[in-house]
Structures are given as structure tokens and as C-alpha cells.
């Protein structure tokens, strides 16, 4: 079984082909960093046009990398949302055209489900598992009970963690994309130089909040201006530590809640762009160890947006008979915990 997946919901155009033997036959990612860099963030209109320019070329490149043709494929999967609608439409229309022209089944994948299931391609993780999904658009903790079966335990009440990384990087003018640059600078800084608040710490439940942390970083920048390069690195390290502390606190609560609901949970998984962060991974590994859970995360290259995650989630859906019709409508919003219910527009 071979599934081709297309991703175009934010600022990466990507295409990949995976097999049911958990092989990646092709993976191409075109990051639009250069298009968005001078704006310090993703501009939706520019993103949509860039996806349009690249999407069909990446599909051709993935086929050539794999040595396969459309005739070898079992299904076409695409991120059908949530995301920037212009970009999602480009991917969805490309996938529909291929499905129609080559008479292939069409699978619309929720982008978040792509992040949520990728770990099952790289690691032997069985359902149910506890997942911290932390990306540019989302920060939530879920019990993954099966394909399309998600129970949300908590989520951010304001910004996502990725957004906080990006905004702080922008305030410090350390370049775009924010997350990876901030992590690099944090490595050169002293995490104890500044003390930032850890919002939500100790509160019941497992919701997140990052906007107060962002504000206190802004205040600190203003108070200490002009900043030396070392100040900037110290702020990065102190900010990253505050994020990690909040995640640790929220995960401890989530583990207790999840064990109550699903006593057979054995795995703790982190996914999404922020899961590429080594301090985040190290903290979750530690929490998993202390709670007798197995920690797993996709390889770093499959944490940020890519085509493999869509192809893999498409394959997981396809092998359960979960295909979609060509009248599927791209969805700018599409909460993961509504997947099991019939879609209503
Ligand atoms: O999953 P993703 O590629 O796109 C969304 O679905 O949103 O996540 C992108 C987010 C960005 O906010 C980016 O700054 C963050 O993930 N990110 C990181 C790192 N790499 C990417 N944040 C912290 N540390 C990193 N190494
Ligand atoms: Zn993503």
C-alpha cells in the first residue's frame, strides 16, 4: 500500500510517499522562509501564491524520488485544514485533480491528526497514548484513542507555544523562523539570568497560557534596553525555561487525568513544530521516566510541517476505509476532537 500526501496549510509546501511497511519512499519540503522573512512572519496571500507555484512540481519530484508512478499509488491524501485557507485550497485542489485523473481514492487529513499520528510511523506506539501537540497554531494535550478518536484534556487559552517562540524571537530581532533561532541562542544563554512567570503553574487541569509570559519578556526587553548579544541569549534561555516549566506542570496534571480515564496508557508522545526543541524533548523524557511511561517523538525532521505526516495519517485512515468524496470542503478551522463526528459546515 502506497499513499502520496500533500501539505500546504501554512508556510511549507511538501509532498511525500509512504508505505504500509512504514517506509518513506520520498519526502520533499519547500520552506517559504525567504518569501516571509522580511515580514517577520507568514503572510497568508504570499503563502498561497508560493504553494500554487510549487505544489505540482513537488508532486512530480516525490514521484521521481520514489521511482513510482501514479499507477503504483493506493490513495492520495492532503491536509484539508485547519490552516491558512488559501494554501489549504491549493493542496486540496491539486489532490482532487490527481485523484480524479488517476481514479484514486481521496483522503482529506486533518493537519493536526498528521502531527498526532506521525510517531506511529517512526515508533511502535499503540493506542491509546497521551499526546502533547505543540506547534505554531496549537498547544493542546490529548488522549489519542485511535485513528480519528481524540479526547482533548486541555489547550491554550490564548497563544500557542510556537507563536510565543516566534513573537519573542521577533522582539529580540534574532531572525525568522523564530523557534529554531531562539533555541540556538538559548544554548548560549544563562537560563537563571532573568526570571519569567510560569503561567498556569499549579492550577487544576491542563490548560496552557503564554500571553502573560510574552508580555513579561517585552517588559524585560524594554527595561534592559539597549540589549547586548549576551542579554538576548540570556532572555532566550530564561524564556525557554519558563515555557518548559509550564509544559512540565501541565503534563503532570494530564498524566493523572489520563490515567483515570484510560488506565492502559503506556506512552507519552510530543509532536508538532515545537517538539523539535531539545529542551522540550528532554523535559518530557524526564517526566515519562518518573511516571513509568515510554517517551516517543517523531524524528526532528518530521516535527515541523512535512508531507510524510499527511501521507502517513492518510494511510492510517485509508486502511480503515476512511476516504472522502471529491466534494470535500477545505476547512480553515477543524478541531481534532470533532473528527469522529460527521462533518457539518
Ligand atoms: O508544526 P509546525 O511546523 O507548523 C504548525 O502546524 O504550526 O510548527 C511551527 C512552529 C513555529 O512556531 C516554530 O517557531 C516552532 O514550531 N518551532 C520551534 C522549533 N522548531 C520549530 N519552537 C521551538 N524550538 C524549535 N527548535
Ligand atoms: Zn503543523
In a domain? residue 200: yes
Question: What ligand has the least distance to the C-alpha of 275?
Answer: 1
**Quick one: 164 and 281 in the same domain?**
yes
Residues 330-342 have a mean pLDDT of: 87
Bridge partners (DSSP) of residue 324 are 106
- Distance between Cα 160 and ligand 1 center (Å): 10
In a domain? residue 192: yes
**Quick one: 56 and 140 in the same domain?**
no
Distance CA 343, CA 322 (A): 13
Query: Measured in whole angstroms, how far is the alpha carbon of residue 179 from the centre of its chain?
Result: 13
- Index of the ligand 1 atom closest to the CA of residue 305: 3
Q: Are 16 and 73 in contact (CB under 8 A)?
A: no
What single-letter DSSP state applies at residue 245?
Answer: H
**Quick one: 193 and 101 in the same domain?**
no
Give the model's pLDDT for residue 38.
Answer: 85
In a domain? residue 337: no
- Residue 210 Cβ inside 6 Å of ligand 1? The answer reads no
**Quick one: 161 and 204 in the same domain?**
yes
In a domain? residue 324: no
**Quick one: 113 and 167 in the same domain?**
no
- The 3-state secondary structure of 305-318, one letter per residue: CCHHHHHHHHHHHH
- How do strand 267-271 and strand 294-296 relate by DSSP bridges? parallel
Q: Are 168 and 239 in contact (CB under 8 A)?
A: yes
Give the model's pLDDT for residue 333.
Answer: 96
- Confidence class for position 133, pLDDT limits 50, 70, 90: very high
- Residue 136 Cβ inside 6 Å of ligand 1? The answer reads yes
Number of domains in the chain: 2
In a domain? residue 250: yes
Q: Which residue CA neighbors atom 13 of ligand 1 most closely?
A: 179
b/e per residue 37-62 (b: at least 16 CB within 10 A): eeeeebbeeebbbbbbebbeebbeeb
Q: Are 190 and 234 in contact (CB under 8 A)?
A: yes
In a domain? residue 246: yes
**Burial of residue 166 (number of CB atoms within 10 Å: 0-12, 13-18, 19+):** buried
- Distance between Cα 69 and ligand 1 center (Å): 32
Q: What is the pLDDT of residues 184-214, one digit of tens each?
A: 999 999 999 999 999 999 999 999 999 999 9
**Does position 341 have pLDDT exceeding 90, yes or no?**
no
CA-based angle 193:194:199, to the nearest 5?
140
- Distance between Cα 135 and ligand 1 center (Å): 5
Distance CA 130, CA 293 (A): 10
Instruction: Write down the mean pLDDT value for the chain.
Output: 96
Q: Are 165 and 179 in contact (CB under 8 A)?
A: yes
- Index of the ligand 1 atom closest to the CA of residue 177: 14
Q: Are 45 and 129 in contact (CB under 8 A)?
A: no
**Does position 175 have pLDDT exceeding 90, yes or no?**
no
- How do strand 129-134 and strand 267-271 relate by DSSP bridges? parallel
Residues 327-343 have a mean pLDDT of: 87
- Residue 154 Cβ inside 6 Å of ligand 1? The answer reads no
**Cβ neighbours of residue 310 under 8 Å, at least 6 residues apart?**
5, 6, 7, 14, 16, 77, 78, 79, 109, 111, 114
**Cβ neighbours of residue 184 under 8 Å, at least 6 residues apart?**
none
In a domain? residue 215: yes
Q: What is the pLDDT of residues 21-55, one digit of tens each?
A: 999 999 999 999 899 988 878 999 999 999 999 99
3-state secondary structure of 60: helix
**Quick one: 139 and 105 in the same domain?**
no
Residue with cell 525532521: 301
- Residue 324 Cβ inside 6 Å of ligand 1? The answer reads no
- Distance between Cα 74 and ligand 1 center (Å): 31
**Quick one: 96 and 111 in the same domain?**
yes
**pTM score, whole prediction:** 0.97
- Residue 162 Cβ inside 6 Å of ligand 1? The answer reads yes
Host H or E run for residue 94: helix 85-101
b/e per residue 295-319 (b: at least 16 CB within 10 A): bbbbeeebbbbbbbbbbbbbbbbbe
Q: Which domain does 259 fall in, by range?
A: 127-297
In a domain? residue 343: no
- Residue 191 Cβ inside 6 Å of ligand 1? The answer reads no
Distance CA 79, CA 6 (A): 6
- Index of the ligand 1 atom closest to the CA of residue 178: 14
**Quick one: 210 and 83 in the same domain?**
no
**Does position 81 have pLDDT exceeding 60, yes or no?**
yes
| Phi and psi based region of residue 204 (left: phi greater than 0; alpha: psi -120 to 50; beta: remaining) | beta
- Index of the ligand 1 atom closest to the CA of residue 160: 12
- Residue 183 Cβ inside 6 Å of ligand 1? The answer reads yes
Query: Measured in whole angstroms, how far is the alpha carbon of residue 23 from the centre of its chain?
Result: 21
Q: Are 92 and 328 in contact (CB under 8 A)?
A: yes
**Quick one: 280 and 165 in the same domain?**
yes
Whichever domain contains 204, its CATH number is: 3.30.420.40
- Residue 177 Cβ inside 6 Å of ligand 1? The answer reads yes
**Quick one: 66 and 207 in the same domain?**
no
**Quick one: 104 and 203 in the same domain?**
no
Amino acid at each position: 500500500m502506497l499513499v502520496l500526501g500533500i501539505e500546504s496549510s501554512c508556510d511549507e509546501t511538501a509532498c511525500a510517499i509512504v508505505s504500509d511497511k512504514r517506509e518513506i519512499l520520498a519526502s520533499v519540503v519547500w520552506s517559504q522562509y525567504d518569501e516571509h522573512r522580511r515580514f517577520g512572519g507568514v503572510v497568508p496571500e504570499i503563502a498561497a501564491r508560493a504553494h500554487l507555484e510549487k505544489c505540482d512540481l513537488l508532486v512530480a519530484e516525490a514521484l521521481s524520488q520514489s521511482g513510482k508512478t501514479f499507477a503504483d499509488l493506493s490513495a492520495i491524501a492532503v491536509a484539508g485544514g485547519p490552516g491558512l485557507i488559501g494554501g489549504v485550497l491549493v493542496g486540496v485542489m491539486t489532490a482532487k485533480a490527481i485523484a480524479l485523473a488517476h481514479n484514486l481514492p481521496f483522503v482529506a487529513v486533518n493537519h493536526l491528526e498528521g502531527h498526532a499520528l506521525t510517531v506511529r510511523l517512526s515508533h511502535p506506539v499503540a493506542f491509546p497514548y497521551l499526546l502533547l501537540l505543540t506547534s505554531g497554531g496549537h498547544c493542546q494535550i490529548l488522549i489519542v484513542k485511535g485513528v480519528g478518536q481524540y479526547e482533548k484534556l486541555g489547550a491554550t487559552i490564548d497563544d500557542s507555544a510556537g507563536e510565543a517562540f516566534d513573537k519573542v524571537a521577533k522582539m529580540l530581532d534574532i531572525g525568522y523562523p523564530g523557534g529554531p533561532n531562539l533555541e540556538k541562542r538559548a544554548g548560549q544563554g544563562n537560563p537563571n539570568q532573568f526570571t519569567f512567570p510560569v503561567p498556569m503553574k499549579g492550577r487544576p487541569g491542563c490548560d496552557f497560557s503564554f500571553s502573560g509570559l510574552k508580555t513579561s519578556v517585552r517588559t524585560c526587553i524594554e527595561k534592559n534596553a539597549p540589549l547586548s548579544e549576551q542579554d538576548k541569549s540570556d532572555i532566550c534561555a530564561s524564556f525557554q525555561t519558563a515555557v518548559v516549566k509550564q509544559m512540565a506542570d501541565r503534563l503532570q496534571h494530564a498524566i493523572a487525568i489520563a490515567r483515570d480515564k484510560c488506565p492502559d496508557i503506556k506512552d507519552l508522545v510530543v509532536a508538532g513544530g515545537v517538539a523539535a526543541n531539545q529542551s522540550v524533548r528532554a523535559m518530557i523524557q524526564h517526566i515519562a521516566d518518573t511516571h513509568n511511561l515510554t517517551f516517543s517523538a517523531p524524528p526532528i525532521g518530521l516535527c515541523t510541517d512535512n508531507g510524510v505526516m499527511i501521507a502517513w495519517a492518510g494511510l492510517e485512515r485509508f486502511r480503515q476505509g476512511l476516504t472522502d468524496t471529491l466534494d470535500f470542503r477545505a476547512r480553515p478551522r477543524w478541531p481534532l476532537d470533532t473528527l469522529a463526528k460527521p462533518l457539518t459546515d
